[in-house]
């Protein structure tokens, strides 16, 4: 399939929405020829960003929704997750790899997202909330931005 497919959904703030996002991203990535490992990683990044939007952003509120988008073509897939929460400052998030945090029971989601896609952007959304944009390229050569992994 060489054409671009797009999907834009408003999902409820329940954990099933994270499952849905994961499955959708995985199936689309498969259709466009991403490798089994890339599909796995994309699914995980989609799940983790959705869980953050649902749990930290929208705090499971029934009044709040998560805007979930996928745009996929032969070269790359872009997944965008946007919540209606209070926002946060990614640079202030404790490093889960440091000695003092390694035994924490949480705090590894953003680490996995960054490890599993080629490019991640986290910024405040207007008028409220957080938007996370994740890009993964289907072939490694195309991934000219992979240094962002280390950001």
Partner 1 sequence: MSLSTSIREVSGVVIVDLSGRITLGEASGKLRDTVRDLLAKGNKKILLNLGDCTYIDSSGLGELVSSYTTAANQGAKVKLLNVQKKVDDLLQITKLYTVFDSYTDESEAVASY
Ligand X SMILES: Nc1ncnc2c1ncn2[C@@H]1O[C@H](COP(=O)(O)OP(=O)(O)O)[C@@H](O)[C@H]1O
Alpha carbon distance 26, 91 (integer Å): 29
Q: In the numeric block, which tokens belong to residue 5? A: 């497919």
**Residue from 15, 24, 71, 110 in contact with ligand X (CB under 6 A):** 110
CA distances to 19, 29, 84, 85, 140 from 56, rounded to whole Å, are 17, 27, 10, 7, 32
Element (DSSP H or E) covering residue 137? strand 130-137
Tell me if residue 119 falls in helix, strand or coil: strand
67 binds ligand X (CB under 6 A): no
115 binds ligand X (CB under 6 A): no
10 binds, among ligand X, its own copies, partner 1, none (CB under 5 to 8 A by kind): its own copies
24 binds ligand X (CB under 6 A): no
Alpha carbon distance 11, 2 (integer Å): 28
Give me the least distance between CB of 116 and partner 1, in Å please.
9
143 binds ligand X (CB under 6 A): no
Contact residues toward partner 1 (CB under 8 A) are 1-6, 15, 18-19, 40, 44, 47-48, 51, 55, 96-97, 102-109, 111-112, 115
Select from 8-16, 86-94, 125-133, 136-144 the region that touches its own copies (CB under 8 A): 8-16
Of 14, 26, 21, which Cα lies nearest the Cα of 47? 21
Draw the binding track, 14-33, toward its own copies (x: CB under 8 A; -: no contact): x-xx-xx--xx-xxx-x---
Give me the least distance between CB of 67 and ligand X, in Å please.
12
Give me the least distance between CB of 102 and ligand X, in Å please.
14
Q: Other CB atoms closer than 10 Å to residue 133's CB: what's the count?
A: 17
Tell me if residue 16 falls in helix, strand or coil: helix
């Amino acid at each position: 399939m060489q054409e671009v497919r797009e999907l834009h959904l408003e999902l409820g703030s329940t954990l099933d929405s994270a499952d849905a996002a994961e499955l959708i991203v995985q199936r689309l990535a498969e259709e466009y020829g991403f490798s089994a490992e890339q599909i796995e990683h994309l699914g995980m990044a989609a799940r983790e960003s959705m869980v953050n939007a649902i749990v930290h952003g929208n705090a499971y509120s029934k009044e709040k929704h998560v805007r979930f988008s996928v745009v996929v073509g032969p070269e790359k897939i872009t997944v965008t997750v946007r919540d209606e929460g209070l926002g946060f400052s990614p640079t202030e998030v404790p490093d889960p790899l440091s000695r003092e945090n390694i035994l924490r029971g949480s705090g590894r989601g953003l680490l996995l997202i960054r490890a599993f896609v080629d490019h991640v952007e986290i910024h405040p959304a207007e008028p409220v909330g957080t938007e996370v944009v994740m890009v993964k390229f289907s072939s490694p050569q195309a991934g000219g931005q992979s240094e962002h992994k280390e950001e």
